Chains A and B, each alone.
Chain A
Amino acid sequence: EAQVTQNPRYLITVTGKKLTVTCSQNMNHEYMSWYRQDPGLGLRQIYYSMNVEVTDKGDVPEGYKVSRKEKRNFPLILESPSPNQTSLYFCATGQGLGNTIYFGEGSWLTVV
């Protein structure tokens, strides 16, 4: 079964405390991406990766880092979270943009 797994699903953290949201897929997809969803703003892309060791900025990369050391994993790193990073985060994967893009269930992150 095709799966995109994000962890944690829910997290409340404090300003400045580094955290990592993991994303793993079992479909051998080359393309992976992170989005955040905020009321009134829709889904905005943070970073994406076209393949292992290839990452690039999306529309709202400030305050985030990513890495793609393995094909199946694409962690999102918040080095010093701030309250404006409180959001619902989605990981997405696909075999290139010309194909179906699959989304994880989302990670609710609250920074206080």
Chain B
Amino acid sequence: SQQGEEDPQALSIQEGENATMNCSYKTSINNLQWYRQNSGRGLVHLILIRSNEREKHSGRLRVTLDTSKKSSSLLITASRAADTASYFCATDGTGYSTLTFGKGTMLLVSP
């Protein structure tokens, strides 16, 4: 099955800085979703971007999608300590009935 791969695996920044995480996938998709997971907790949905969209915003979050490169990025602006979490991209592709996750980026935001 296809899989998103996040990059970097881990990211450490200071409060106020921007954090950028990337996701690459292998085959055509219908949609791509980004999730946040605090340690040992459930996944919280952040943004869904469809294959015909190039960019979406939600508060301090900006997601881009480049289907020609099969990649997406999640930008968190003006990061806060509370943004410390793991971030996952998940894709569902043409003909698939499953949401496939990457292994995530661990983000640490230090005060």
Contacts and interface: CB of A to CB of B under 8 A. Distances in A.
Interface residues of B, number: 25
A59 B90 CA distance: 15
Secondary structure dominating the interface of A:
strand
Contacts of B50: 98
Interface string A49-88: 0100000101100000000000000000000000000001
Contacts of B102: 42
A45 B48 contact: no
17 contacts: A33-B99, A42-B102, A42-B103, A43-B43, A45-B99, A48-B98, A58-B98, A59-B98, A88-B40, A97-B96, A97-B97, A97-B98, A98-B31, A101-B45, A102-B45, A104-B42, A106-B41
Given A40-B103, A98-B92, A100-B48, A90 B42 contact: yes
Contacts of B31: 97-98
Nearest to A56: B97
B25 interface: no
Interface of A: 33, 35, 40-45, 48, 50, 56, 58-59, 88, 90, 92, 97-106, 108
Interface of B: 1, 30-31, 33, 35, 40-45, 48, 50, 88, 90, 92, 96-104
B33 A100 contact: yes
Given A92-B99, A97-B31, A105 B88 contact: no
Contacts of B101: 35, 42-44
Contacts of B40: 88, 106, 108
A103 B42 contact: yes
A90 B45 contact: no
